[in-house]
Amino acid sequence: MKIFTIASPGSRVVCRRGGIYVVKGDSKEKILIPPDIDCVVVASSRVSISSKAIRVAARRGIDFVFLDFNGMPIARLYPPYINKTVAVRVSQYMLFQGDYGRKLAKEIVYTKIVNQVELIRYLAKNYREPSLREVAYQIDSIATELRALDPKILDRDILMSFESRAAKAYWQTIASLLPDSLGFRGRDHESRDLFNMALNYGYGILYSVCERSLLFAGLDPYLGVLHTPKSGKPSLTLDFVEMFRAIAVDKPLVINVKKIKLAIQQDRLDTDSRKSVASIVLENLRQRYLYIKTSKREELSEIIKRDAWDLAYCIREGLEYRGARLVI
């Protein structure tokens, strides 16, 4: 998946001679948005888009995603032909309330924990820190314990207890690797420390990529199995994202933390910080990882897209779904 980001305040998106361009502020310089782009992420509240640019983008299958200052998607413009597979959504509505939904929720949590283990092992090798291998073993044992449980006895509280146990060890380890100056003591999406805000922004970008993949696979992003259903809450997107957080966002931000100049302006990351986080996360989405299902190295954005289609296929056919396990 190819993504183009617009983060400069005052930018205008216009159409000229069939091409879609970004004009920055009062400048006459035009930057062409490549025609093979899948998605345009708008990361500033001061960006205007002409209706002609929207029409041309829609014909090309390009959608626009608008992020708030925390990086969370708050609006989306996409072509009107995505609901191509009614059968997928019918099966989704029928299956998610029963045993299938419980098994799927268990698989998502299990895959999330296993991918956290993969990142800790990678960091142990990267930092040449043997003690991290012990942490990876401890977290992996939690995943193994969860794997052995009968889905019929599982409910959301039990699943969340496994996720919480793994997260505690995982984030304590991440915190130990970061500079003290960042003030990071653990994952808290409401915290105002620099690294938590960077994570929030990176996750927002990941949400937009995952939601697009689910929509184009024919799934309803608002009916999930792990996050509680609520009007206006994209529960399935939030579920699906869990499997990719560690590799898609945590990894690039941790290993590049000394290269990122993070700063706060008006209780939020400033424009340059958001550009830096977006650049690092988007670059990582273009990196190739080993996708266990295919035993091939593929771009992470393509893995996300492929896995959404696999999830849709399993739901439509009532087949058991296996999560998106990755190897760095």
Specify the pairing of strand 63-67 against strand 288-291. Answer: unpaired
pLDDT one-digit tens code per residue, 214-223 = 988 999 999 9
Q: Rounded distance, CA 258 to CA 260, Å?
A: 6
Stated pTM of the model: 0.86
The Cα–Cα gap between 114 and 166 comes to: 10
Class of the CATH domain delimited by 3-77: alpha beta
User: Across residues 121-144, what is the average pLDDT?
Assistant: 95
**Secondary structure in 3-state letters for 102-121:** HHHHHHHHHHHHHHHHHHHH
Per-residue pLDDT band at 175 (split at 50, 70, 90):
very high
Q: How far apart are CA 82 and CA 217, in angstroms?
A: 8
What would the mean pLDDT of 168-191 be, rounded to a whole number? 93
> Starting at the edge strand that comes first in sequence, how are the strands of the sheet with 3-6 ordered?
3-6, 39-42, 63-67, 73-77
Domain 86-327, CATH class in plain words: mainly alpha
What is the domain partition of the chain in residue ranges?
3-77, 86-327
Contact call for residues 311 and 321 (beta carbons, < 8 A):
yes
The amino acid at 212: R
Instruction: Report pLDDT for 168.
Output: 97
Question: Which is nearest to 285 in space by CA: 297, 275, 300?
Answer: 300
Which DSSP letter does residue 30 get?
Answer: E
Q: How would you classify residue 80: left for phi > 0, otherwise alpha for psi between -120 and 50, otherwise beta?
A: alpha
Per-residue confidence (pLDDT) for residue 82, from 0 to 100: 57
> Tokens 């060890």 sit at which residue?
169
Instruction: Give the Cα separation of 2 and 27 in Å (integer).
Output: 26
pLDDT of 292 > 60? The answer is yes
Query: pLDDT of 246-267, one tens digit each?
Result: 999 999 999 999 888 899 888 8
Query: Rounded to 5 degrees, what are φ and ψ at 299?
Result: -60, 140
H or E stretch at 122: helix 99-127
